[in-house]
Amino acid sequence: MHETALDQYVCLGDLQYRVTRPWPSTENNMEGLCDVFTLPDGRIGALRRKAPHILVFSPQGELQAQWVLPGVRCPHYATAGHDGQVYVVDLDGHQILVLDGDGTVQRVLGQPDKPSWGKPFNHPTSAHLAPDGTLYVTDGYGNSQVHRFDQAFNWLHTLGEPGRGPTQFSTPHAVRVLADQRVLVVDRENNRVQILTPDGGYLGELGDLHKPMALAVLQDGSILVTDHTPRLSRFRADGLLLGRARTFSTVAHGVAVGHDGSIFLAEMVPTMLTRLERVSATV
């Protein structure tokens, strides 16, 4: 007699989700998975630390493309900008690869053989295109800084230094810029997410986190943060904690939101892509 697998559900405050893992199926090799991102057309990208480095899936889970990134040393995070380009951060290559929607490298920021102390880049971790077209990069494992670039990718300024105070960092691990231009920086070893102005002014922080890892933003503007507990937290845009759920492996290193409101988690140990499908509101 075979047991029937039971559905699993989690809630993040008033939002409820059905858990699907692995997603999309066991036929897709997720070895080396480190991040997940959503392309502007709704496709889902899974970033791996081995070739092919990016697996591209339809929202229904059909494998549609496989991208190899030439010269990449250690992919860490990837995001898709509103400009249609994909920004892949190479942790040990000290570089940012800018791809088009077909996975072709259009531009490279930084040089693999020239890491820098106190300026771009020294083991960068994450990049995100702000609504105004400027690019923010957390830099990361070597530097404890955030760099900002203009729309032509010229380096504008750098903020931050090692420490525990406002606008000081210990392993800035991810960055997101909200619609109102507030900058969220995952300050991993300080157990917080700092909230900053575009020029680096300190506005506050999200706390009660244990080694936070990744950020995403839901359609309602609420903020998702993964950490090492391991768990997924949902905060209101003003910082109020709205809900929490555990993640199902040691840590969700990456998180993304699909066009239908589903949440995708790039989980590690065991390595697996997990989908949280929105099903209803709790009462």
Go through 270-279 and write b for each residue having 16 or more CB atoms within 10 A of its CB, e for each that does not: ebbbbbbbbe
Residue with the two structure tokens 């997101």: 176
If residue 227 lies in a helix (H) or strand (E), which one and from where to where?
A: strand 223-227
| Average pLDDT for the chain | 95
Amino acid at 233: S
Q: What is the pLDDT of residues 207-235, one digit of tens each?
A: 999 999 999 999 999 999 999 999 999 99
Domain ranges of the chain: 19-236+245-281
Give 19-65 as a 3 state SS string: EECCCCCCCCCCCCEEEEEECCCCCEEEEECCCCCEEEECCCCCEEE
Q: What is the model's pLDDT at position 52?
A: 97
Q: What is the model's pLDDT at position 188?
A: 98
The residues, ordered by sequence, that sit 6+ positions from 4 with a Cβ below 8 Å of its Cβ are: none
Q: What is the model's pLDDT at position 283?
A: 42
CA-based max dimension of the chain? 65
Encoded tokens for 127: 């990049």
- Across residues 188-210, what is the average pLDDT? 96
pLDDT band of 281, cuts 50, 70, 90: low
Quick check: 128 pLDDT over 60?
A: yes
Q: What is the dihedral of CA 122, 127, 133, 134, to 10 degrees?
A: -30
Q: What is the pLDDT of residues 31-63, one digit of tens each?
A: 999 999 999 999 999 999 999 999 999 999 999
Amino acid at 150: D
Q: Distance from first CA to last CA of the chain, Å, rounded? A: 37
- Across residues 256-266, what is the average pLDDT? 97
If residue 125 lies in a helix (H) or strand (E), which one and from where to where?
A: strand 124-129
Quick check: 2 pLDDT over 90?
A: no
Q: What is the model's pLDDT at position 4?
A: 59
Q: What is the pLDDT of residues 239-260, one digit of tens each?
A: 999 999 999 999 999 999 999 9
Fold for domain 19-236+245-281?
Neuraminidase (2.120.10)
State the Rg of the chain over Cα: 18
